Amino acid sequence: MTGVRSPLSPTGGARPGLRERKKAKTRAAIRAAAYGLIRQQGYEATTVEQIAGRAEVSPSTVLRYLPTKEDIVLTDAYDPVMAAGLAARPAGEPWPESLRHVLRAVLGVGAGEEAELTRLRTRLLAEVPAVRCRMLENMSATGRVLARAIADRTGLAPDSLEVRTVSMSLVGGLMEVSRYWAEHDHEESLAELVDRALDALENGLPALRQGPREGRGEARGPGPDPVAS
């Protein structure tokens, strides 16, 4: 998932302390510096030292907040947001419907005020192998968040094979949605692509367009016509 601001965060919570606000400000400055440099000169040409210089912090500070350059691009606050959003849905609501609702709310930010940043991140995901590998590592945490939410709704254990399989299929599907969107120049609606992916995971692949006899005939190869024989 991408983005750092949440449409689902509660508005009446306690104000973060001074230390937490300073950390958030520093992290935001590091990300802003990284994004600006990547736009100007590309991902590979951008170094941690350059990011630190533009953010006016030391390279060690950059790596203390975000251990790798890939983390600067990928790390976001959506996992706890998704967990809170799923927990807030009605108890009797089927979990696929709850998931769709929460993802639509999260995607609303990416398609709105953070559209440019979301496109940049998905483009890097599609084009830079190191970013893609790091996202695969990071998405295990998202899978655990989804596993707990699915377990709460189904009564199954969050570490059961069935729940783990479904949750990781979901996060893998979301990653492929991001890549597909970027590979097609961000022309389609991201929300509609997510709906299509969830449909495929929930209902299976759409029916083949060719008829079963035609399909079997192609697989069988040339030979006598069974009708004529």
Q: Give the per-residue pLDDT at 5.
A: 38
- Same domain for 134 and 57? no
The reply to whether 181 falls in a domain is: yes
Instruction: Determine contact, residues 109/163, Cβ cutoff 8 Å.
Output: no
More confident residue, 172 or 82: 172
Instruction: Determine contact, residues 24/101, Cβ cutoff 8 Å.
Output: no
Range(s) of the domain holding residue 91:
76-203
* Per-residue pLDDT tens digits for 151-208: 888 889 999 999 999 999 988 998 899 899 999 999 998 888 988 998 998 888 876 5
Assess whether pLDDT exceeds 50 at residue 139. yes
* Per-residue pLDDT tens digits for 185-200: 999 988 889 889 989 9
The mean of the pLDDT values for the chain is 80
> What integer is the mean pLDDT of 55-72?
92
Assess whether pLDDT exceeds 70 at residue 11. no
Amino acid at 165: T
The reply to whether 14 falls in a domain is: no
Tell which of 11, 45, 67 closes a domain.
Answer: 67
- Same domain for 84 and 38? no
Assess whether pLDDT exceeds 60 at residue 78. yes
Q: How many domains does the chain have?
A: 2
Split at pLDDT 50, 70, 90, the class of 56 is very high
Assess whether pLDDT exceeds 50 at residue 18. yes
Print the SS3 string covering 155-200.
CCCCCCHHHHHHHHHHHHHHHHHHHHHHHCCCCCCHHHHHHHHHHH
